[in-house]
Amino acid sequence: MGEYVQLGAVKTWYDEQGEGEPLVLMHGGLVDARFFAANAPALAEKFHVYTPERRGHGHTPDVEGPINYQLMADDTIAFLETVVGQPADLVGHSDGAFTAMLVAMQRPELVKRLVLISGGFNKSGQAGPEMEWDVDQIAQFLGPAYGEVSPDGEEHFKVVATKIGEMAAKEPNLEASQLAAVTARTLVMFSDDDLVTLRHSVQMYDAIPTAEFAVVPGTSHFLTQEKPDLVNRIVLDFLTKDPVPTIAGIRRQSQFDLPPATDD
């Protein structure tokens, strides 16, 4: 059924299911926890899953002022400290992924493992930079679902969409070198036809020292819904198993020490 917790100025709604170690699912922009309907039950078989909804999203009312990634990271940190109360695994999609990464960079003691799904780190990686942020069109697509649960009503959706558009015009804006601050074991996951280029996703994988990499074939930015069983299996494999000793790793240490290459 879900419940509310007051975190500063934000009356944050969240639900929880399952038992075990804590796992926080972080939805993307302009959607809510229902986005993970095909994923949360499978994860809840192994974990205590929390599904908070960020300011202006889902059941969580909007607050006056802008929405940006740092504010959402601050809200997430408050949620982890107040509700979860211990280090947790973070699984984020899109805006939720970048927000989760900021939390891991700024408060590493709160994050055990990190799964970043379809969330880039810099606007230079956009696959369609010419795409226009059309609030009216977005409202036709997502507004009705927003109105089903938002205490602000469907008519407020365009206000939130405008705020997210203003954020998206400038952020994210990290440099690849800054991602070295992510110390948690991390799974970087994208579709093969995502909103950022595959080159950008590889840059992200290369820049995070502890990263592992997955590309889900035949999917788009909505890969968690398009191939939920495959996404769930990959995420659970990452979260429930230790890294395997690879036989011929180049980026990571190999199981066997190979002799150095020679010119002969």
For 170-216, the pLDDT digits (tens) are 999 999 999 999 999 999 999 999 999 999 999 999 999 999 999 99
- Locate 112 and state its tokens: 């055990």
What's 3-240's CATH class? alpha beta
What does pLDDT average to over the chain? 95
> Cα separation of 239 and 232, whole Å?
10
Tell me how far apart the alpha carbons of residues 163 and 150 are, in angstroms, rounded to a whole number: 16
Domain boundaries, the chain: 3-240
Taken in order 111, 113, 119, 120, is the CA torsion positive or negative?
Answer: positive
pLDDT confidence of residue 255: 55
Q: Give the distance from CA 238 to its chain's centroid.
A: 15
Longest dimension (CA), the chain: 72
- Give tens-digit pLDDT for 107-163: 999 999 999 999 999 999 999 888 899 999 999 999 999 999 999 999 999 999 999
Instruction: In whole angstroms, give the CA distance from residue 102 to residue 122.
Output: 13
Q: Which residues contact 202 (CB under 8 A, 6 or more apart)?
A: 213
Label residues 51-73 b or e (16+ Cβ within 10 Å = b). bbbbbbbbbbbbeeeebbbebbb
